């Protein structure tokens, strides 16, 4: 079974008005259960509109969308989306509303009908997954730093144990060290719960190291989809779309311009260095 199946999806903003604007144009892709997927694209590419379909915030004008095999065009199936798909929006303040962090994280489990001990267990477990100290539980979530607010918002969704976790620009504003730790935590969560994780961003560097698949949107259209390695083989198309490539891929492209036959589909600096050493060794053997 697929976690997400999108087939020939179209969506237009302000249909029938002078401000009508196509947002998604014939989008098709599949996300396997348990995958970590990055949806990437520049501002205005349709990323946010696309993920709003996943939990029924908007409905497709044309095409089909299935979540865990359920066609969400059917009203009875759409009602289940809140428990299947957990979504954390770009601005955590929009999701934090309770007087304390504990109450905020506990809100979802309470609505699932769990007893007090089960709710407490889920709150503590969600805290631990996101490396949050228990000392924050009695604080107001609105007094926390931006990074802590983001983690509390994710913890609140995680405590419901959705099958699919969608994070919109989850690392915006984070320092590089904090960002790295955060992404490692997300991958650990995915492994622990066998959850499908979808990260939405305009920064390729944010997700490519932990993603099983990258989906690249541009101007409402699906530009590229596949493993990070397969996507990086189309490095020039990514540049043309106005997206920044990871540093190691940029280095490989510069070397290609200098006629060194290296691959551009490397993941991480270690793999880039190994590729350079391999190609240089092959050139030396040829000369000898």
Residue 288: per-residue pLDDT: 62
Supply the mean pLDDT for the chain.
89
Tally the C-alpha atoms within 13 A of residue 29's C-alpha that lie toward its C-beta. 22
Tokens of 232: 């990086």
Dihedral sign from CA coordinates of 197, 198, 199, 204: positive
pLDDT in tens, 93-142: 888 889 999 999 999 999 989 999 999 999 999 998 888 899 999 999 98
Would strands 164-168 and 85-88 be described as parallel, antiparallel, or unpaired? parallel
pLDDT at 67: 94
Report the pLDDT averaged over residues 63-86: 86
% residues pLDDT > 90 (the chain): 49
In order of 68, 234, 275, the CA distances from 6 in angstroms are 11, 23, 36
pLDDT higher than threshold 80 for residue 178:
no
Q: Write down the pTM of the prediction.
A: 0.89
CA-wise closest residue to 150 among 230, 234, 91, 212: 91
Residue pLDDT, tens place only, 185-211: 888 888 888 899 999 988 888 788 889
């Amino acid at each position: 079974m697929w976690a997400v199946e999108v087939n020939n999806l179209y969506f237009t903003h302000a249909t029938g008005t002078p401000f009508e604007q196509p947002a998604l144009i014939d989008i098709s892709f599949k996300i396997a259960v348990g995958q970590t997927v990055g949806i990437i694209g520049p501002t205005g590419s349709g990323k946010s509109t696309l993920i709003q379909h996943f939990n029924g915030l908007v409905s497709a004008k044309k095409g089909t969308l299935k979540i865990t095999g359920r066609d969400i065009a059917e009203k009875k199936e759409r009602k289940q989306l809140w428990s299947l798909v957990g979504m954390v929006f770009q601005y955590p303040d929009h999701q934090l509303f309770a007087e304390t962090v504990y109450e905020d994280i506990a809100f979802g489990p309470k609505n699932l009908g769990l007893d007090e001990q089960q709710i407490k267990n889920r709150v503590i477990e969600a805290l631990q997954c996101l490396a949050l100290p228990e000392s924050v539980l009695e604080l107001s979530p609105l007094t926390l730093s931006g990074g802590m607010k983001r983690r509390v918002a994710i913890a609140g969704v995680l405590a419901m144990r959705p099958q699919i976790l969608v994070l919109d620009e989850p690392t915006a504003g984070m320092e590089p060290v904090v960002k790295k730790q955060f992404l490692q935590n997300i991958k650990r969560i995915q492994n622990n719960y066998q959850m499908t994780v979808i990260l939405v961003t305009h920064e390729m560097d944010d997700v490519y190291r932990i993603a099983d698949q990258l989906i690249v949107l541009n101007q409402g259209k699906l530009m590229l989809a596949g493993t990070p390695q397969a996507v990086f083989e189309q490095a020039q198309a990514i540049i043309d779309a106005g997206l920044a490539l990871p540093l190691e891929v940029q280095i490989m492209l510069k070397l290609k311009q200098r006629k060194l036959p290296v691959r551009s589909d490397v993941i991480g600096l270690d793999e880039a260095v190994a590729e350079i050493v391999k190609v240089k060794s092959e050139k030396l053997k040829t000369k000898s």
